[in-house]
Each structure stands twice: as C-alpha cells, then as structure tokens.
C-alpha cells in the first residue's frame, strides 16, 4: 500500500484554507440593523429592526444566541442593550362574540428588534453584535439624533427623600391607582376593555396600575404552560411520555386518549385560535393505537367527520385534513378527537398552519414546549399594546412578571441545583423583559412575584437577579416583590426597592376590619417600620370574605364608601401611593373611578418629599387626623370614625355633621399662611382662610363636615 507523507507545510496550508473558509462563512452571515427614525424625542421609543439569516432552536435563550446592540451616547458613554426575538400579530376588534373581542393573527415569521429610550439629547450611533456557536459577527453602524421632549423620564425613588417617587427629571410622582391583574379574552377585562379602563382612569386623575403577566392559562402570562389539552386547575393526567420512553429522565411527551368507543377529547387552547376568511389550512398530526381501530376527527370547518385507520400496535399513523374557511369565518371552530373502538390512542405533533406554510397556529397543542425559558408571543404582543395604551393615557405600570408556581418549588433550598436553575431562568426572563419593555417610561416597576411564600429562602434569588438587572437594565427600573403574608425581610432586602404588602379586610380576623382607616394606618406603619428609606405600597387591598372572595358588602356599598376612605387614608398615612384595590371588575361595574379625581386634584401641586408625619390634635377625639408637615406647610386629612364603611353600609347610620372643630398643628414656625379646605367628594375648595401665627404652632378652625375633609396650609 502506498503511504502518503504529510509535511508541516501541508498541515499549514490545510489550516490556512480551513481558517479562510471559516472566516469567509462568518463574513457572509447576514446582520443588518435599521432605525425606525432618524430623530427621536428624549425618553421616547426608538426601534431598531435587526435582520439576520440565522435561525435558532430557542431564540429566547442568550446561551444559544446573544444578540445585543451597543449604543454610543453623545458624551461618549457606551450602553449595552439586549435585543429580543418576537412574533408580530395583526389585531382586529371584532366586538364581543362568545367572549372573543380581539382577533390576533400572526404576521410572517419571527423577527429581531431592539427598543431604546434616549436620556440625553444629541447624536447617537449603534451597532449590533451577534454571538452564537458559529462565532461573533457585527452589523453596520447606524446614527440617529435625540431631541428635547416633554417626557419627564422614568420613575425612581426620590434623590432627596427616597420614601417617595419622582421622575428622572425631578418632578414628584404619587401613585394613584389599583390592580387590573387579569387581562384576557375569557376574563371580564380583555385588551379592548383594558384600553377603555385606562382612558377612564386617566380622565379621573389615576396614574398607576398593577398588571399581571403571570396568570398561567386563565389570562395574560408571558412565561407559562398554556395548553390546548388541559388547564392548570384540572390536573388531568392526559399528557404522558411517548410509549417506550417512560424510563427516560426527560422523555418526549404526547397526549393519551383512552376509554370506551366514542370517548372524545376537545382541543381547547387558552387563546381562541384566529383564522383568516377565505384561506386554506392544513391540520396534521400522528397517532398510535392500542385497541381502537381508528381516530375520528370532528372539525366545524369540514362536512361531517373524518376517520383515520390505525396501523398495527406500535406503529404511528399520520393524518392530514385540508379545509378552506368561509367569507366571515375568523375563528377555529370546535375540534374534537374520539376513539373508534375501546382502548388507548396516543396523539403527537398536532399542527395547524396555512396551506402555504407560515407560523404555527396551534402552538398550545405542543406538549413538549418548554415552560420556563420560552415566552408566549401572543401574550407578549398583548403587553406591547397595554404599554402603548399606558403611554397614551399617562398611566405607569407595576408589572408582576414571573409566574410564581413555575418557580416556587425550585426555591425551597438555596444551595440546590434546582435553585440555581431557577435563578438562571429568571435572569433570562428579566433580560427579555428589559429588552422588549424596558424602554417605556410607563413601565415603572418590575415586580418579581405575586405572593411568593414568605418562608422560602428567596434572599439569594433577589440578590443575584437584582445584580444581573443592574448590569443589563440601562434604565434602572425599580424592583419589588410580594408575599402572601407581610414579609419584613423582603421589605428590608437591599435589592428590593419598594416595600410592599397585601391585605384584605375580612370578618373573623384579629384586625378591626370594620374601620378601613385604622387598618390602613396599621399596615402603613408596618411598611414604614421595615422600609423607612424606600417607597412603600399596599399592593392589594379590599373587602373580602373569610376565604378571600369578593365580599357581598362591597356589592352593597354602591357609593364605594370604603374605597373612597381607603384612598384618602393611604395617601396621608405614610404610603408612597394609594392602597391598590383588587376587585377591579366590581369597581368598573360601579363606575367608581370618579373617586380618584378629587384626590388627584388635591395632590396635583403637592409633594410630600422631605416632610414629616403630621403632629396635630383635633378638638374632637373621634377623628383620625392624618398628614404631613414641614416647618412652614402642612397637608392633612380629617376623618370622622363614624363614617367608616361598616357604620354606613352594615349599620345603616349616616354620620352627623361636625361643627365648631379646631385642629392644632405643632412645630410650625411663625409667618403668613393660606389655608384651603377641600371637599373630598367633588374636589372643590370649600373655604379659603389666611392666618398669621406668632407662636410655634398653628390652630385652625375647620368648616362643618360629616364624613371627611382635607386641608392645605402653605405660606403666602
């Protein structure tokens, strides 16, 4: 046999050729960026469209593909901004038919974008960098200019008084608002209704909402296992390992249908599946049978049902149904699968696409879709629209982001591999949130969890995810979390920027639930004890049954007495915003939004920053007197305890008018002061006075009132 002698020179040539082709391959990979505009206002959104010819198994995983945009700001500072992968949708408002008011249809294939809000006027440049297992490539460089705008910037803790919020530009912000947590087509509030509520809130002076993006499968949830086969509250055991893979530690899964002849299973995604009129579609899948002789498919869009014969036991049979929608068909009709014969059928790879191809429409039927680390694009699109509506209406959002039940068990032992994986997955999720929604000044707060178990060792989680956010979030959004019982530990955590608790007034509890003002004072005192130098919020509040359901008393309180009293009490008791009511559907039914406006009008020219707790005494000891004061100003709210909701709603007693009342405020320097007394029901000024005290206190006469009254005292 002839032998070939390989010389050093030949090795060098081979390596050179290989390197040449590798570099040439990288150079030929496409990465182009294009800005949405050449000029953008300060703090306003600039979108950068990113074009690449490479596809990925999981484009949401930065370990697989890390796509970032590096911006050079006017003063030379470099900003690294994560990009995001997304599926765009067309939206139509069709009117509420069978609960479906919004029609969402995917547009083309997925794309890459970056979103950025400028914080300095001047010229910027930007370049994208893509890193994957094939190497690193860079895009072209784009330029754009930032011009002045009226936008006040992002919300943060005050620089001079961190107990209260302020904008980047320094203007004070007091949070006035509520929860609007569940947004979805099957809920009281769908996207169209949410946009209407945003407008109503804005018209009445409200400026803050707590929104859930973690509703699992009953409403909007970015990271959650939405399923066409089951619901989180059913826990049916129809999703099983593929036959033969039961002993695999990570088996591929399928759907099992078993029972007698005719037993059926309805395919029911949590999102109604949109179809285009006059369009051809293909439904495909495969099945394996043990006993049944065939699989029957019932689909509204075909005449009758189609039957597919089973292959011998252990063999997979493919099936395919083609159909064309009618002129006025916008939704997938009923799709049911049933057995012909007794036994079991395993179903796999159910898919619905246009006949010409395109995005998967039955994505919720994929039982092998990862739950953590993949982000539901229709829900992401909905959140895009919610944020756009917030921007339009001057509403600032606290986004409750992470689906708690996907993480809670992993966070039981802080030195376990499961804990580390939860931290890693949360970092990736927060990276996506920063990339897609962080640009918006209407995104005020990232809230990690809704009501996490306060007994879990979450300190490490908040520290590590918080450190990561400091690195990737160029806007430094505030961070908070919540637990199902008040957590002093979380309020004190250095990487939790807002102390938060939830509380419901329920009969049978130790608290005096009949006096909402006393409850607010108590809960705010807890927050201020454990969050003395950071903003603090009562993130959920309301009247409830002993088992936390909607109280009948709230329904009976048609004038929303408890709602009104709680708003004003929380504004003056030490919180950084109003107590945020949970029962948004009931508030909407009662059209209670008008209660926000008088408080918003009162606070429009008020800042509590650098003021201390009010030191005042009323001549009638039956009053709660709450507020803030400095040496030359005071803002106070007087509440007649006989005007508590229980006295009016349960006891049917209306409080009598209080006359000849005086209030003395201590530690007030001599000077000349204007006094305004406000009607808290309509926001009108009842009375104006002037006073010139010469001692270190001020005593004012209060106009007659029955329930409550508010006051401003300022120098003139």
Q: What is the DSSP letter of 395?
A: -
Q: In terms of DSSP bridges, do strands 39-41 and 135-147 run parallel, antiparallel, or are they unpaired?
A: parallel
CB contact at 8 A, 365 and 71: no
Which of residues 662 and 4 earns the better pLDDT score? 662
Q: Is the pLDDT of residue 96 over 80?
A: no
Mean pLDDT of 315-340: 97
* Sequence-distant contacts of 133-141: CB under 8 A, at least 24 apart: 133/64, 134/25, 134/26, 134/29, 134/54, 135/22, 135/26, 136/26, 137/26, 137/27, 137/29, 137/31, 138/31, 139/31, 139/32, 139/33, 139/50, 140/32, 140/33
The pLDDT of 648-657, averaged and rounded, is 96
Q: Where are the alpha helices (DSSP H) in 155-229?
A: 191-203
In this predicted model, which residue has the larger pLDDT, 28 or 519?
519
Is there a domain that residue 551 lies in? yes
Angle (nearest 5°) at CA 111 between 27 and 225: 125
Last residue of a domain, one of 332, 365, 398: 365
DSSP, collapsed to helix, strand or coil, labels residue 563 as helix
Joined tokens for residue 260: 């007698």
Whether residue 100 has pLDDT greater than 80: no
383/482 same-domain check: yes
What CATH number is associated with residue 102?
2.60.40.10
Domain count, the chain: 4
> Which of the listed residues 147, 168, 183 is the one where a domain comes to its end?
147
Residues 647 and 697 in one domain: yes
- Kindly state whether residue 397 falls inside one of the protein's structural domains: yes
Residue 121 has pLDDT above 50, yes or no: yes
417 pLDDT above the threshold of 80: yes
Q: Is the pLDDT of residue 18 over 50?
A: no
- 140 and 178 assigned to the same domain: no
Is the same domain home to 185 and 218?
yes
CATH number at residue 670: 2.60.40
Co-location of 50 and 141 in the same domain = yes
Tokens of 379: 């829900």
**Beta strands at 280-290 and 317-324: parallel, antiparallel or unpaired:** antiparallel
pLDDT at 3 over 90: no
Among residues 127, 147, 167, the one where a domain terminates is: 147
- Averaged pLDDT for residues 650-658: 96
Residue 138 within any structural domain of the chain: yes
CATH of the domain at 283: 2.60.120.260
> What share of the chain in percent tops pLDDT 70?
96
71 and 50, same domain (yes or no)? yes
Task: Note whether 81 and 42 are same-domain residues.
Answer: yes
Residue 99's pLDDT band, with cuts at 50, 70 and 90, is low
Structure tokens at 268: 């029911």
Same domain, residue pair 343 and 410: no
- Residue 180 and residue 52 share a domain: no
Do 652 and 531 belong together in one domain?
Answer: no
248 pLDDT band (50/70/90 cuts)? confident
Q: Evaluate whether residue 238 is within a structural domain.
A: no
What's the pLDDT band for 97 if we cut at 50, 70, 90?
A: low
In a domain, 133, yes or no: yes
Kindly indicate the confidence band of residue 355, based on its pLDDT and cuts at 50, 70 and 90. very high
Q: What is the pLDDT of residue 141?
A: 98
Instruction: Specify if 21 maps to a domain.
Output: no
> Are both 128 and 170 inside the same structural domain?
no
582 and 476 belong to one structural domain:
yes
The token pair that represents 579 in the structure block: 């107590």
Q: What is the pLDDT of residues 231-240, one digit of tens each?
A: 988 877 899 9
Asked if pLDDT for residue 27 goes beyond 70, the answer is no
703: closest CA among 691, 689, 715? 689
Mean pLDDT of the chain: 94
Concatenated DSSP letters of 17-35:
HHHHHHHHHHHHS-EEEEE
CATH at 539: 3.20.20.80
* pLDDT computed for residue 303 by the predictor: 85
| Long-range contacts, 618-621 (Cβ 8 Å, 24+) | 618/661, 618/662, 618/663, 618/702, 619/660, 619/661, 619/662, 619/663, 620/658, 620/661
Residue 244 located in a structural domain: no
Is 627 contained in some domain?
A: no
Where in the sequence is the domain holding 596, given as residue range(s)? 155-222+373-607
């Amino acid at each position: 046999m002839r032998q070939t002698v390989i010389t050093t020179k030949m090795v060098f040539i081979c390596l050179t050729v290989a390197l040449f082709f590798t570099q040439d391959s990288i150079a030929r990979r496409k990465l182009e960026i294009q800005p949405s505009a050449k000029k953008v206002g300060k703090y306003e959104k600039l979108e950068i469209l990113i074009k690449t010819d490479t596809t990925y198994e999981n484009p949401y995983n930065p370990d697989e593909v890390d796509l970032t945009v590096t911006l050079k700001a006017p003063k030379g500072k470099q900003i690294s901004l994560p990009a995001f992968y997304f599926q765009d949708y067309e939206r139509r408002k069709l009117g509420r038919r069978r609960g479906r008011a919004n029609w969402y249809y995917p547009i083309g294939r997925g794309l890459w974008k970056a979103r950025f809000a400028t914080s300095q006027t001047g010229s910027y440049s930007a370049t994208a960098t893509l890193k994957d297992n094939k190497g690193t490539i860079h895009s072209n460089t784009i330029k754009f200019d930032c011009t002045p705008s009226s936008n006040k910037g992002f919300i943060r803790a005050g620089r001079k008084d961190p107990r209260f919020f302020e904008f980047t530009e320094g203007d004070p912000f007091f949070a006035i608002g509520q929860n609007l947590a569940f947004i979805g087509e099957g809920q009281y509030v769908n996207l169209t209704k949410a946009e209407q509520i945003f407008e109503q809130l804005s018209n009445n002076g409200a400026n803050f909402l707590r929104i859930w993006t973690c509703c699992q499968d009953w409403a909007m949830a970015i990271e959650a296992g939405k399923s066409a086969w089951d619901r989180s509250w059913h826990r049916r055991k129809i999703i099983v390992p593929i036959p033969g893979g039961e002993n695999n530690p990570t088996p591929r899964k399928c759907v099992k249908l078993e029972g007698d002849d005719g037993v059926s299973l309805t395919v029911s995604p949590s999102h109604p599946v949109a179809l285009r009129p006059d369009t051809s579609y293909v439904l495909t899948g495969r099945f394996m049978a043990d006993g049944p002789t065939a699989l029957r498919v019932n689909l509204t869009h075909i005449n009758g049902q189609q039957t597919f014969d089973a292959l011998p036991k252990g063999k997979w049979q493919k099936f395919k149904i083609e159909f064309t929608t009618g002129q006025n068909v916008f939704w997938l009709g009923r799709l049911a699968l049933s057995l012909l014969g007794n036994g079991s059928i395993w179903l796999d790879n159910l898919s619905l696409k246009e006949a010409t191809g395109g995005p998967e429409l039955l994505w919720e039927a994929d039982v092998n879709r990862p739950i953590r680390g993949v982000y539901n694009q229709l829900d992401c699109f909905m959140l895009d629209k919610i944020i756009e509506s917030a921007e339009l209406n001057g509403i600032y959002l606290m986004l409750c982001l992470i689906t708690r039940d996907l993480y809670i068990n992993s966070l039981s032992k802080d030195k376990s591999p499961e804990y580390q994986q939860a931290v890693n997955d949360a970092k990736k999720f927060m990276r996506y949130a920063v990339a897609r929604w962080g640009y918006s000044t209407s995104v005020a707060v990232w809230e990690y969890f809704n009501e996490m178990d306060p007994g879990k060792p979450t300190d490490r989680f908040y520290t590590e995810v918080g450190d990561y956010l400091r690195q990737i979030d160029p806007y430094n959004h505030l961070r908070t979390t919540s637990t199902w019982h008040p957590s002093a530990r979380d309020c004190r955590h250095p990487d939790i920027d807002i102390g938060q608790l939830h509380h419901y007034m329920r009969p049978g509890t130790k608290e005096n639930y009949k006096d909402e003002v006393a409850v607010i004072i108590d809960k705010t005192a807890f927050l201020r004890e454990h969050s003395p130098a950071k903003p603090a919020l009562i993130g959920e509040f309301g009247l409830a049954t002993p088992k936390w359901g909607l109280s009948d008393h709230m329904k009976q309180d048609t004038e929303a007495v408890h709602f009104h009293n709680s708003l004003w009490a929380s504004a003056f008791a030490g919180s950084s915003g109003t107590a945020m009511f949970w029962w948004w559907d009931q508030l909407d039914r009662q059209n209670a939004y008008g209660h926000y406006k008088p408080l918003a009008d009162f606070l429009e020219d008020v800042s509590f920053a650098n003021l201390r707790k009010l030191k005042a005494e009323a001549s009638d000891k039956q009053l709660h007197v709450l507020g803030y004061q400095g040496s030359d100003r005071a803002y106070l709210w007087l509440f007649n305890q006989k005007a508590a909701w229980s006295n009016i709603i349960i006891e049917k007693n209306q409080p009598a008018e209080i006359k000849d009342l005086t209030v003395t405020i201590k530690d007030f320097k001599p000077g000349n002061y204007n006094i305004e007394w406000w009607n808290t029901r309509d926001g009108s000024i009842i009375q104006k006075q002037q006073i010139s005290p010469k001692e270190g206190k001020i005593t004012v006469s209060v106009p007659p009132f029955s329930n409550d009254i508010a006051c401003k005292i300022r120098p003139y």
